Amino acid sequence: MRDLYETQRAMRNVRKAAMQRGVIAILDIGTSKIACLVLRFDGPGRAAQTDGVGALAGQSQFRVIGAATTRSRGVRFGEIDAMQETERAIRTAVQAAQKMAEVRVDHVIACFSGARPRSYGLDGAVDVETGIVTEADIGRVLASCETPDFGHDRDVLHAQPVNFALDHRSGMADPRGQGGQRLATDLHLMTVDATAIRNIFFCIKRCDLELAGLASSAYVAGVSSLVEDEQELGAACIDLGGGTTGISVFMKKHMIYSDAVRMGGEHVSSDISMGLQVPMQVAERIKTFYGGVVATGMDDREMIEIGGDTGDWERDRRTVSRAELIGIMRPRIEEILEEVRARLDAAGFEYLPSQQIVLTGGGSQIPGLDGLAAKILGQQVRLGRPLRVQGLPQAATGPAFSGAVGCALFAANPQDEWWDFDIPAETYPARSLKRAVKWFKDNW
Amino acid sequence: MRTMKEPRGYAATPRTRPVRDPAPSKWGYRWQRWMLTPGVRTGLRLGVPTLVIGLIGTAWFSNDANLAVVTDRYDQIKAAIQHRPEFMVTGLAITGADEELASQVAELVSVEFPVSSFDLELEAMRAKVAALDAVSDVYVRVGDAGALEIGITPRQPVALWRTAEGLRMLDDNGVFSGDVAGRAERRDLPLIAGDGAKEHMTEALALFRTAAPIATRVRGLVRIGNRRWDMVLDRGQRIQLPGEGAEAALARVIALEDTQDLLARDVILVDMRNENRPTVRLQQDAVAATRNAVTTGASN
């Protein structure tokens, strides 16, 4: 716990340094693609300052100057499976983005979707020493949260205070400066497999880059594709990725729950590949061009040439009706959505005031998905695209890039994390000295 | 039954192999990153052209003939500018000096007119003129209408100093201001002599002022043993003054002269060295005459 705190603080310092230099790269390490965006920060002073919410919800202080995508290699379920291959893929993406940006980037904020995220809700409370809440009090109350035993092979990825309560008043975003006796907080802690994080560290280090931050893909996808009132009132973002489907639940502008289903678009492709006896690439192509989830009478008559790779062009010309394709895809997508439903139920999603569900990620482009999702997940379902950010190429504005864009927003406006506050110094020596003085006073 | 067409713009036959998307080699990647480093980019944009131009220039100038062409051309242009009429000096104007000194200075400066003002070394000229004994201060400048102006403040001699080499003039700081052939040339200046006389000019001048009533009789002052003064008068008379309070002692002698015509008498020496015991020495003849007078009762 302690060294993680140090690591995250070090990353935060690197991020500050990168902001100072003005150029930072965003790396979305996914199962099917690796995307790299190069951001240029103009600094807070140079963006047009307006009262309240500025242009693009205050996100106009950075600009995307380079973007590149490459086919992902060596990543499975959002986790690095083959280091060398992944390293090469990262190099490809970073090089292309650098070339477009014509600038060298040294600092990278990475997001990834896998590594079995798990959410914990923690709470802590302390007495306010001076009667006025200070930054130190917030550090203390965060430290007072009782950390659950999540196992030695897991690391904390996010630890965000989502709520503060001062005496009987709850739902405060920023209690600093307010008077009160007892300060309580709710902390959302998200842990992932430590090995996955370590692998990402190594991979990025071997590309001569420095890691300036790590984020969960589910979280940043929610940041980019949920609109403000959805984040405020409660919504779930379902990021249908290649190898995993990330779930993040937002409430009062904070992520309060996150999970991932280890199934995604690649599983649909592999179903098609197995069902139709075609190579994976062909299956992917057929899914992209003709895929769907709702079959109609028309689809029985629509024939898709799936070809054969045997070279015998005269005889090996197989075709398949679109209804058959949908018949293969639908059960898998239903399975994924059922699984998501189960996770949301486990999280108590139905108790939120608003139960908006936003589908994003590359998988959300399947035609008719919103209808199917509405049947399984509830009526309030919409398809989400990432927020428009300045300078992003048209090719990178699709829902498949909500993770990358969200990571860029995360880089620009990072959420307060537990490690952003000074740990209340295990001022053990000072405290014991104070105790000794008190003992003397009492007894002499 | 109909066959679904692929969307426009895509190849009819599905590609079964992945898109070619080769990863850069590690060194290729590093090379590209290195070339994107701002310092390297600036170096290539500015440093390399500078280096190339520098190399070409060096190679060209390393040939002596080329260098000579450039330096000759430079000298020509420089001379053409320096010899423009605006920069020419045509005459010498010496102010503040008498004729003798002026001719001496003109000889010393020895400039062939007309000359470009760039070729005149005014500082050296000034140093040369200032080194003359008779010159106290001097300015040298190129003034209006192309005249070389030399303004001289001459030294004012206040005394003559007799040395083994001859007579010299001193100003009030004890600095030489020129030679004199004979005493007759500067009768107006008082004469001093002896070792260390030069260093005590102020005292000597004060003594001469005190001796103003008998100025016609004063021959000069002699410094004795670099310690005290002797005032020498005509008729071989001499006033020995003490090292300390010489002026007061002399004033006493002058007072005696005023009241009792001391120096008009047959006195050869007035010894004021001991202020408590001023002594007067008579001439040999006077002593004898006095004795005779006493013996014959001629006095009274």
Q: B170 and B193 in contact (C-beta within 8 Å)?
A: no
Any A CB within 8 A of B1 CB: yes
Would you list the DSSP string of A87-106?
Answer: HHHHHHHHHHHHHHHTS---
Q: Decide: A159 and A416 in contact? Cβ < 8 Å.
A: no
Q: What is the pLDDT of residue A47?
A: 46
Domain end residue (candidates: A141, A159, A192): A192
Q: Which residues does chain A have within 8 Å of residue B44's beta carbon, measured at their own beta carbons? A: none
- The domain total for chain A is 2
- Say whether residue B43 is in contact with chain A using an 8 A CB cutoff: no
Q: How far is Cα A241 from Cα A243, in angstroms, rounded to an integer? A: 6
The stretch B194-215 carries a mean pLDDT of: 84
Task: Please tell me which residue of chain B has the smallest CA distance to A207.
Answer: B26
Residues near B96 by beta carbon (within 8 Å), at least 6 away in sequence: B151, B152, B153, B154
User: CB count, 10 Å around CB of B83?
Assistant: 15
Angstrom distance (rounded) from CA A268 to CA A324: 13
Residue A157 lies in a domain: yes
Residue B179 in this model has a pLDDT that exceeds 90: no
Q: How many CB atoms lie within 10 A of CB A138?
A: 24
Any domain includes A138? yes
A48 pLDDT higher than 70: no
A319: closest chain B residue by CA = B3
- Looking at the domain assignment, is residue A200 inside a domain? no
pLDDT mean over A265-279: 91
Looking at the complex, report in whole angstroms how far the Cα of residue B20 sits from the nearest Cα belonging to chain A: 10
Does the pLDDT at position B11 exceed 80?
Answer: no
- Is some CB atom of chain A closer than 8 A to the CB atom of B42? no
In angstroms, rounded to a whole number, what is the distance separating the alpha carbons of residues B290 and B235?
19
What class does CATH assign to B160-296?
alpha beta
Helix (H) / strand (E) element for A214: namely: strand A210-216
pLDDT tens digits, B254-295: 888 889 888 888 888 888 888 888 888 888 888 888 888 888
HSE of B56, CA atoms in CB hemisphere, 13 A = 5
Q: pLDDT (tens digit, 9 = 90+) per residue, A218-248? A: 999 999 999 888 888 889 999 998 889 999 9
Out of B4, B19, B33, the one facing A290 most closely (by C-beta) is: B4
Chain A residues with CB within 8 Å of chain B CB: 70-71, 88-89, 91-92, 94-95, 98-99, 102-104, 207-208, 279, 281-282, 285-286, 289-290, 301-307, 309, 319, 322
Name B148's bridge partners. B92, B142
Which segments of B86-240 are extended strands (E)? 88-89, 91-95, 115-116, 135-142, 147-154, 159-162, 167-170, 176-180, 191-193, 218-224, 228-233, 238-240
Token pair 């106290």 is found at B136
d(CA A145, CA A206): 36
A69 Cβ contact list (under 8 Å, min separation 6): A33, A34, A35, A36, A93, A395, A396
Helix (H) or strand (E) holding A283: helix A280-290
Pairing outcome for strands A319-321 and A210-216: unpaired
pLDDT, residue A426, reads 55
Distance CA B24, CA B33 (A): 12
Which residue's structure tokens are 């040369």? B128
**Residue ranges per structural domain of chain B:** 85-154, 160-296
Q: Which of A70, A98, A289 sits opposite B7 (nearest CB)?
A: A289
- Is a pLDDT exceeding 50 seen at residue A178? yes
On whether any CB of chain A is under 8 Å from the CB of B187, the answer is: no
Residue A191's nearest CA partner among A243, A143, A142, A147 is A147
Residue B136 has pLDDT above 70, yes or no: yes
Sheet order of strands, A23-29 included: A62-71, A33-41, A23-29, A107-112, A210-216
Tell me whether residues A281 and B16 touch, CB distance under 8 A: yes
- pLDDT tens for residues B65-118? 999 999 999 999 999 998 888 888 888 888 887 888 888 888 888 888 788 888
- Determine whether the interchain pair A95/B17 forms a contact, defined as Cβ–Cβ distance below 8 Å: no
Q: Which residues of B touch A289 (CB under 8 A)?
A: 6-7, 10
Residue A296 in any domain: the answer is yes
Contacts of B285 (CB under 8 A, 6+ apart): B266
A207 interaction partners in chain B (CB closer than 8 Å)? 29
The CATH number of residue A138's host domain is 3.30.1490.110
Domain boundary among A324, A341, A362: A324
pLDDT for residue A153 is more than 70 = yes
Beta-strand ranges (E) seen in A270-425 are 302-305, 319-321, 356-360, 381-383
Neighboring chain B residues of A307 at a CB cutoff of 8 Å: 13-14
CATH number of B85-154: 3.10.20.310
What's the CATH code of the domain at A293?
3.90.640
Is B4–A70 a contact, with Cβ atoms under 8 angstroms apart? no
Per the domain annotation, does A305 fall within a domain?
A: yes
- Indicate the angle between helix axes B48-61 and B64-82, nearest 10 degrees: 90
Q: Which residue is closest to A68 within chain B, CA to CA? A: B21
The reply to whether B18 touches chain A by the CB within 8 Å rule is yes
The per-residue DSSP string of B44-95 comes to IIIIHHHHHHHHHHHHHHTSHHHHHHHHHHHHHHHHHHHTSGGGEE-EEEEE
B17 touches A at CB < 8 Å: yes
Q: Is A27 inside any structural domain?
A: no
Looking at per-residue confidence, does B146 or A430 come out higher? B146
d(CA B250, CA B244): 11
Share of chain A above pLDDT 90, in %: 30
Cβ-count burial B238-265 (b if 16+ within 10 Å, e if not) = bbbbbeeebeebbeebbebbeeeebbee
Give the closest of B2, B10, B13 to A302, CB-based: B2
> What are the percentages of helix, strand and coil residues in chain A, rounded to 5?
40, 25, 30
Q: Is A67 inside a domain boundary?
A: no
Q: Which domain holds residue A316?
A: 265-324
Q: Residue A85, Cβ neighbours under 10 Å: how many?
A: 16
How many of the other CB atoms lie within 10 Å of CB of A405? 30
Q: How far apart are CA A238 and CA A253, in angstroms?
A: 16
Q: Å from B53 to nearest chain A CA?
A: 27
Question: Which residue from B1, B13, B32 is facing A95, i.e. has the nearest CB?
Answer: B32
Q: Using the beta-carbon criterion (under 8 Å), do B13 and A103 form an inter-chain contact? A: no
Quick check: B21 and A303 CB within 8 A?
no
Give the pLDDT of residue A247.
Answer: 94
Mean pLDDT of all residues in B8-25: 66
User: For A302, which of B4, B33, B38 is closest by C-beta distance?
Assistant: B4
Query: What is residue B295's predicted lDDT score, i.e. its pLDDT?
Result: 81
Which pLDDT belongs to residue A56?
46
**What's residue B300's pLDDT?**
47
| B162-173 pLDDT per residue, tens | 887 788 888 777
pLDDT at A1: 47
Rounded-to-integer distance, Cα A294 and Cα A434, Å: 71
Query: Residue A312 in contact with residue A345, Cβ under 8 Å?
Result: no
Please check whether residue A113 lies inside any domain of the structure: no
Q: Which residue has the tokens 């405020």?
A: A232
CB contact under 8 A, A71 and B22: no
**What DSSP element (H or E) covers A29?**
strand A23-29
CA distance A239 to A343: 14
One DSSP character per residue, A402-429 reads HHHHHHHHHHHSPPP-GGGSPP-TT-HH
For residue A299, the chain B residues in CB contact (below 8 A) are: none
The size of the A-B interface in CB pairs under 8 A is: 67
Residues B89/B117, Cβ–Cβ less than 8 Å = yes
Q: How confident is the model at residue A2 (pLDDT cuts 50, 70, 90)?
A: low
Contact residues, chain B, for A280 at CB < 8 Å: none
